[in-house]
Amino acid sequence: MPEEEKNEMLETLPALALRGLTVYPKMMVHFDVGREASVKAIEESMSSNTPIFLVAQKDIRVEAPDRNHLFDVGTVSVVRQILRLPGKTIRVMVEGQYRARLHDLIQTDPYLVAKVERAESDQSYEGKSNSLRAEAAVRQAYELFDRYSELAPKNASAEMLMNIMSSEDAGYIADFIAQNVSMRVLDKQSILDELRPVQRLNKMNRLLRREVEILEMEQSIQRRVQENMTQNQKDAFLREQVRVIQEELGEDGDNEIAAYRRQIADAHLPEEVENKLLKEVIHLEKQPFGSAEASVLRNYLDVCLELPWTKISKERVNVQAARKILDADHFGLEKVKERILEFLAVKQLAPDLKGQIICLVGPPGVGKTSIGMSMARAMNRKLARISLGGVHDEADIRGHRKTYVGAMPGRIINAIRQAGTKNPLLLLDEIDKLGSDMRGDPAAALLEVLDSEQNSTFRDHFVELPFDLSDVLFITTANTTATIPKPLLDRMEVIELPSYTDEEKLQIAKNHLLPKQLKRHGLKKSQLKLTDDAIREVIVSYTRESGVRILERELGSLCRKVAMGIVSEEYKQAKVTGDNLENFLGPRKFHPEKNGLENQVGLVNGLAWTSVGGTLLEAEVNVVPGSGKVELTGNLGNVMKESARAAFTYIRSRAKELGVEPDFYKEKDIHIHFPEGAVPKDGPSAGVTITTAMVSALTGIPVRGDVAMTGEVTLRGRVLPIGGLREKSMAALRNGIHTVILPKDNETDLEEIDQTVRNALQFIPVAHVDQVLANALERPPLAQPEEQTDNAPLGGAGTSARASVPQA
């Protein structure tokens, strides 16, 4: 088409962008206009008596639309009426005239002006279509709109239905239905875009069918909801009738409420508890059927009625019987058993004595938990065990308030509930491994539980009633007291369980562990004969622990290997000795420290202790030409580094007496290293070890390889006492050490050491570093100290220990 002829067909009209609305030809529509540009376009159309182009926006959120925000097809309409509302809003009534296609917006301010082209189909609305396809589409439209008017009578009146039924024009029917039925803007626009009447009506029928299906589904859902509500109302009405009839007859049926009342009456609860539970029963009785609060109340009543408010088990406090049980369950640990029996003796003389809380502290595997279980058996108390390792929420101890979803009592109340008596033995395992975070500190919550002055009225957040914990015997276990908060530790009486000696481990393995493993693996005593030498070899070469847990595991591995041989018919019975042990357990995992027994310059055997036992801790020192730097390596803590500096200063102050060059600190670099650098090490008791190694390296005098030592050193050379002597001495014995040098102030601790260890080691108490050097070096330095204290060897115990974080 020529450009001039095309321009003649375009009309320039004021335009109005519609939001969420579509206007169709031959339809009378009214709507409110609020945007300033839209109001001015309406006013211009009225004042100039010209039509206005109405086109829908693609995005209703756009306040100032341009060409890209408008659809391509709109409706040229005539403004019939304007009604001004309060504010700047006007209400407009328009009548659509014909479809038009938007070519361009030639003005956007102060209102939109558009160039449009008429886009009507060749077939006018008045022309009747006699084709069969049009007739079928029209009839389908009649049927669908009739069904729509039944499902949504508020949206489709009888007058609208008559208007449709009176027309046979497919295009007009499609436009009329689209104008009056609630649909998405895109669906309405698709009807406006379709210029072919029959196709337009078919598309409208598809959209109308979808709307009908949605309405039918909504009605189905609403009908089911109404039926459920009606049934609930009916049930509530019938229950109320039954209750009224029972009241009139003076009967109390065997229903849930009556059952709760009987349980409360039969339990003989304390007055405060009984009154509280009866109030909750009354509250439950008033709840409608199926209410969420009724479930909460039932759960609360069930928990409270299961608690042993008044039930007490008969306690047996007999020292002799307890001794037999402890001896049968545990070998050794004589001092620990004696302390427990003393506790029971006091309990026997003063039965009403309350508030005794025992904390068993010792390395893993020494029998802390099993001793607590033996105590429960000896005293005839119910046992409940609570593992506190990793607990970091205060609500785990005190519980959650019952109003929360999934609320439950705390671990203390739950344990008593499971025990079934008011006076059980509660074993709080791993109390040293409590954590804390933003939800609270469980250790703080335990302060009330473990305080005999307060726990008689312990209130759990869930139960909300005071429960008497004063009759409960609390036994706690820990590997160390270092991580237990001081206020909590102050409430407990600590009993330390030392490490087992090799002889004790031998007896435990023979009398307890091996029979247990034979039974577990289905073996008879005649099928596996394990000599004492073999057990000792397992202890020395396959385990390195303070307790017997790994030893039991190795014995289990041995039993499995024997069981496999018997089932495979390799042999009918096995005799395991120290010589053939590797055939069953494989290569030895640990070897005696033979290198440590050689006399070497700058290499000293120290002793360290941690919560899992003792070990040998070597210190190595090398002296090289340099500028006087001191290098410390081996993953050392601050305290250990300070010990090295103190030793260095002491050597400088007495360089002449020790035979060291006076200016060594200017011309020599000293490197102090502790092997196994991946293992953190800290503590002051490596002071004498570092001093001896440095003096040996600076003087070239070898250190005796069969000597181990422990002790803190000062700037004046004094040797101060240390801890963990028992564990350190056993570590020295395990590693082939013959002599242990220890602080003189620790001499009294030798009484605590096992007699076997005392007989096997030579102990030399010292008060000064010079005495250490005199006994540790192959030959003494140039001069001896002026004051010499008695450092005669003793048949006693030395200490060595090591664990994951050695305390040197």
List active site positions.
685, 728
Q: In terms of Cα–Cα distance, which of 658, 642, 644 is closest to 698? A: 658
CA distance 69 to 294: 56
Is the preceding omega at residue 363 within 30 degrees of 0, hence cis?
Answer: no
Chain-centroid distance of CA 722 in Å reads 38
User: Are 621 and 672 spatial neighbours (Cβ–Cβ below 8 Å)?
Assistant: yes
Q: Using the 8-state DSSP alphabet, how is residue 49 labeled?
A: T
Which residues make beta-bridge pairs with 329?
A: none
Torsion of CA 56, 62, 64, 68, to 10 degrees: -60
Buried b (16+ CB within 10 A) or exposed e, 486-512: eebbebbeebebbbbbbbbbbebbeeb
**Structure token pair of residue 324:** 């037999």
Q: How far is CA 79 from CA 83, 85, 490, in A?
A: 11, 17, 91
Q: Is 586 left (phi over 0), alpha (psi -120 to 50) or beta?
A: left
Q: How far is CA 688 from CA 647, 691, 743, in A?
A: 8, 5, 10
Q: Report residue 618: phi and psi, to 5°.
A: -75, 145
Count CB neighbours of 667 within 10 A: 12
Query: Residue written as tokens 């361009």?
Result: 104
Q: In terms of Cα–Cα distance, which of 191, 164, 202, 183 is closest to 99? A: 191
DSSP string, 554-578: HHHHHHHHHHHHHHTTS-S-EEE-T
Q: Report residue 338: phi and psi, to 5°.
A: -60, -40
Count CB neighbours of 466 within 10 A: 14
DSSP β-ladder status, 473-478 and 357-361: parallel
